[in-house]
Amino acid sequence: MEDALPEQMRTAATALLTALDEPARARAAHRFDDESARRWLEYRPRPRPGACLADLDRSGRKAAHRLLATALSPPAYAQAMAIVALEEVLDRAEGWRRGRHSGDYWVAVFGDPARDEAWSWRLEGHHLSVTMTVVADQVSPAPIFFGANPATVRHAGHPVSRPLGVEEDLGHALLDALGPAGRAAAIIADEAPGDIVSATRPRVDGPLEPLGVPAERLGASGRALLDQLVAVYLDRLPPELATREARRLDAGPLHFAWAGPTAPGQRHYYRIQGDDLLIEYDNTSADGNHAHTVLRRPTGDFGTDLLTTHHTHTPH
């Protein structure tokens, strides 16, 4: 039975292109074989391929949001919208100097979703990048980047906004649960790297060596927390896709690694690696209040695995 999700994405992407006027459609629509534009991940405020949501009319913007919603679970969609709203908060904190705005997000479609077996789409801007590749009746869901600056906004000691708080808190809880020997194995450096290791590269340099402590050495409570943490990232996806990705990971080993101080509020980093899985989290600004997270599939990013299988079994 064909998965409903690819058809939902095809319908939403086709509706988006139909909703755009000709100039916006020309900016949004790209060839699927335009590798430099399609294999793209950029979470900084930089020029990027696509049509800017700020330049679209209401129907175009809503069509872009409906497409994004096909790729994310309801909680993850709420996270994404909180991240978008933080652009206005950050612009105010910077004295309005850089002109950041919540419309500075861009949508691009690669190939023809109505006709092509293989096509993809991306919605991206500062601290948000979601790429989905559709091949026949399957979806490849990576990379997905969520960031937040400020990571936490507080009033009277209580958080007002903290879109990536669960990702941070569960990481600390897992580290605390390891005990002295487990923490010694998990901590790979006293200082955190300046950013996520995979950065904005279209391919994860690899193979990236698994570092830290293997899951089988975590003990029952540590393994349960690791599973919860992995689920937080997979649950960014729609339930049927999250379930498929979780099954794919069941047979392979996982490693958990930490870099930097262990106390909250300081510069820190963690990563989880498995067979074709890379999860990274960093909070490495000077005040520990600027977070990046990414879910990648080093051999499957941008649909590489699905496309390889497709080309092997389908004459071209």
Q: Enumerate the domain spans of the chain.
A: 4-142, 163-299
- Residue 194 in this model has a pLDDT that exceeds 70: yes
Residue environment code for 148-158, b if the CB has 16+ CB neighbours within 10 A, otherwise e: bbbbbeeeeee
32 Ramachandran zone, left/alpha/beta (phi>0; psi -120 to 50): alpha
What is the predicted pLDDT for the residue at 1? 33
- Residue 257 in this model has a pLDDT that exceeds 80: yes
Residue 216 DSSP class? G
Q: Please, are residues 140 and 88 in contact by the beta-carbon 8 Å criterion?
A: no
| Per-residue pLDDT reduced to its tens digit, 81-97 | 999 999 999 999 999 99
Q: Extract the tokens encoding 261.
A: 């101080």
Residue environment code for 187-204, b if the CB has 16+ CB neighbours within 10 A, otherwise e: bbeeebbeebbbbbeeeb
Q: What are the start-end ranges of the H helices in the chain? A: 4-19, 22-28, 35-38, 58-71, 74-93, 165-177, 179-186, 219-234, 239-250, 304-313
- Residue 2 in this model has a pLDDT that exceeds 50: no
Q: Extract the tokens encoding 183.
A: 């923490």
- Residue 214 in this model has a pLDDT that exceeds 50: yes
Closest by alpha carbon to 60, among 13, 115, 117, 96?
13
Three-state SS for 272? strand
Length of the chain in residues, anyone?
316
- Residue 38 in this model has a pLDDT that exceeds 80: yes
Q: How far apart are CA 58 and CA 221, in angstroms?
A: 48
Provide the pLDDT confidence category of residue 159 given band limits of 50, 70 and 90: very high
- Amino acid of residue 234: L
299 Cβ partners below 8 Å, 6+ apart?
Answer: 276, 305
Q: Extract the tokens encoding 277.
A: 């899985």
- Residue 298 in this model has a pLDDT that exceeds 70: yes
Q: How far apart are CA 177 and CA 215, in angstroms?
A: 13
pLDDT, averaged across the chain: 94
Q: What is the pTM of this model?
A: 0.95
What number is the average pLDDT over the span 108-130? 98
Is the sign of the CA dihedral 203, 206, 207, 208 positive or negative? negative
Q: Please, are residues 140 and 161 in contact by the beta-carbon 8 Å criterion?
A: no
269 Cβ partners below 8 Å, 6+ apart?
Answer: 192, 193, 196, 258, 259, 260, 280, 281, 282, 283, 284
In angstroms, what is the C-alpha Rg of the chain?
20
